[in-house]
């Protein structure tokens, strides 16, 4: 009888081991399937990007000359260039960058360090997060109403820069808040215990610790701003401009606007010019992202 029980127990143990082995085998198969699925999804994105870059460089590289960089927009493809649009984009970023950084970081400091935790601060934070996902055309309509019409800034660089500031400001506030909230409270408490005021703690402890994340989020947000088209169309950015802005109240164009205008032209040469403009815009974006990576690594050290 005992031998029979031992045999039954052995069979049960063997069956249990088989079930466990089957489950392990099934999980490993699922893991391999998920691994290759994610890998193929990544390859699809990389492949599409490679095809787009190959097509752009193939069509636009030969048009990327000194005359293309120094000439203004023209109705003739052989004379067209991006000087006016390039300088317009530089002016826009020159206005957007300081305003976005000062206002965005200031708002983040207030929400994280000074605002009392309650329904009002929660409501503000939720609204800011929601604004970060609003389509850019809505900010263009807001800029048209407030800056162009109400404040009578007309179709100026200042109106375009302020509109882009509204566009990326929620993104910068969210990024700065996350960077500031990641600072350990022990550092704040140690600074306060040494006799520092709250502002001295923020200035000498919190901001240096959070600066890599703040700078990265700000520069990435500005990278989005420099590639936007819809808000600039709404505030009246010019598609044909034969001069560079000399003040913030002058009319302006921008690289995305110029590229959009060239793509809409019927001649094939204008499409090639648009490809060359895209190469210039990509170079600017990659430079800004490289600066973000450099600053982040520098402040982390």
Digit-by-digit pLDDT tens for the chain (301 residues) are: 555 555 555 566 666 667 777 777 778 888 888 888 888 988 998 898 899 889 898 888 888 888 888 888 888 888 888 888 889 888 999 999 999 999 999 999 998 888 887 788 788 888 888 888 888 888 989 999 999 989 888 888 999 999 999 999 999 999 999 999 888 888 888 888 888 888 888 888 898 888 888 888 888 888 888 888 888 888 887 777 788 888 889 888 888 988 888 888 888 888 888 888 999 998 888 888 888 778 777 776 6
Report the pLDDT value the prediction gives residue 29, as an integer from 0 to 100: 82
Q: What are the C-alpha distances in Å from 215 to residues 93, 117, 162, 289?
A: 15, 26, 20, 11
Report the pLDDT value the prediction gives residue 5, as an integer from 0 to 100: 56
Exposed/middle/buried for 44, CB within 10 Å: 0-12, 13-18, 19+?
A: exposed
Report the pLDDT value the prediction gives residue 91, as an integer from 0 to 100: 92
Alpha-carbon distance 77 to 227, whole Å? 23
Cut 0.75: pTM above it: yes
Alpha-carbon distance 292 to 213, whole Å? 9
Report the pLDDT value the prediction gives residue 99, as an integer from 0 to 100: 92
Report the pLDDT value the prediction gives residue 15, as an integer from 0 to 100: 63
Report the pLDDT value the prediction gives residue 102, as an integer from 0 to 100: 93
Report the pLDDT value the prediction gives residue 14, as an integer from 0 to 100: 60
Report the pLDDT value the prediction gives residue 103, as an integer from 0 to 100: 93
Report the pLDDT value the prediction gives residue 7, as an integer from 0 to 100: 56
Report the pLDDT value the prediction gives residue 106, as an integer from 0 to 100: 92
Report the pLDDT value the prediction gives residue 105, as an integer from 0 to 100: 92
Alpha-carbon distance 55 to 59, whole Å? 6
Alpha-carbon distance 84 to 277, whole Å? 12
């Amino acid at each position: 009888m005992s031998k029979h029980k031992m045999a039954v127990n052995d069979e049960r143990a063997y069956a249990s081991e088989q079930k466990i082995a089957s489950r392990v085998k099934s999980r490993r198969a699922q893991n391999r399937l998920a691994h290759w699925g994610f890998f193929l999804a990544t390859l699809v994105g990389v492949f599409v990007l490679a095809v787009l870059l190959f097509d752009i460089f193939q069509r636009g590289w030969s048009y990327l000359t000194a005359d293309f960089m120094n000439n203004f927009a023209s109705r003739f493809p052989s004379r067209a260039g991006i000087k006016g649009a390039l300088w317009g984009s530089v002016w826009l970023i020159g206005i957007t960058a300081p305003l976005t950084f000062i206002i965005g970081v200031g708002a983040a400091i207030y929400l994280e360090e000074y605002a009392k935790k309650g329904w009002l601060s929660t409501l503000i934070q939720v609204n800011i997060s929601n604004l970060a996902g609003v389509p850019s055309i809505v900010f263009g309509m807001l800029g048209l109403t407030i800056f162009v019409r109400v404040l009578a800034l007309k179709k100026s660089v200042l109106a375009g820069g302020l509109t882009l500031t509204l566009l990326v400001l929620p993104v910068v506030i969210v990024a700065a808040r996350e960077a500031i909230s990641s600072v350990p409270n022990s550092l704040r408490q140690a600074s306060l215990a040494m006799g520092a005021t709250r502002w001295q703690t923020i200035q000498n402890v919190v901001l240096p610790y959070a600066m890599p994340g703040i700078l990265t989020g700000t520069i990435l947000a500005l990278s989005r701003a420099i590639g936007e088209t819809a808000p600039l169309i709404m505030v009246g950015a010019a598609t044909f401009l034969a001069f560079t802005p000399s003040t913030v109240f002058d009319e302006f164009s921008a690289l995305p606007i110029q590229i959009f205008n060239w793509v809409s032209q019927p001649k094939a040469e204008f499409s090639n010019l648009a490809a060359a403009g895209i190469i210039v815009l990509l170079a600017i974006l990659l430079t800004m992202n490289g600066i973000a990576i450099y600053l982040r690594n520098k402040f982390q050290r």
